[in-house]
Copies of this chain bind each other. A is one copy, B any other.
Amino acid sequence: MLPYEHFGYIGPMTDSPNDVTPDRLCKADALPPSDQHAQQYAAVRNAHETELLEDYVELIADLLEHQGEARSTDIAARMGVSQATVSKTVTRLKSLGLVSSKPYRSLFLTEKGEAMAAMSHQRHAIVLQFLRALGVSDRTARIDAEGMEHHVSQETLEIMQRYTREQGHRDV
């Protein structure tokens, strides 16, 4: 079950003699001050709260664009989750003012929801393209992007975007 059990993992890194920036490495090894450390974890917890919501609005926007409507069956199928779960989450999305719909009918995004979807989509695209520009395979890039997108800061996003652009100029 626990995925770390089958691991012949990564190999170098401890024993590679030409390791990276040795003094930085030392710093990385020291524990940061408690309060700063706590803020890091808080940031992650924070991201977790909106993650699912973002995934939903993003998916709803995609479905609306590509299929004309967003039914909960499709969402359930695409998320790999039961319809009951979708129903419950959608209720929450509605109460947050991100989604609107009449009962038993297709879903729509409010303005707020569209803003969130747009932002989410953009972030997703940047991360995905960046990974591909790095040389990651399509399939893996998709999976990783899905997980990473919610944890990439503005600053890093901009850097990724720049990298992708440069890379694009170089080898396309």
Contacts and interface: CB of A to CB of B under 8 A. Distances in A.
Contacts of A30: 66
B38 A147 contact: no
A78 interface: yes
Interface of A is mostly: helix
A41 B28 CA distance: 32
30 contacts: A2-B116, A4-B119, A7-B119, A9-B154, A10-B122, A10-B154, A10-B157, A10-B158, A13-B125, A13-B126, A13-B161, A18-B168, A19-B165, A20-B129, A20-B165, A20-B168, A21-B168, A31-B67, A34-B74, A37-B80, A41-B81, A41-B146, A44-B146, A47-B147, A134-B163, A140-B153, A141-B156, A144-B153, A147-B152, A148-B152
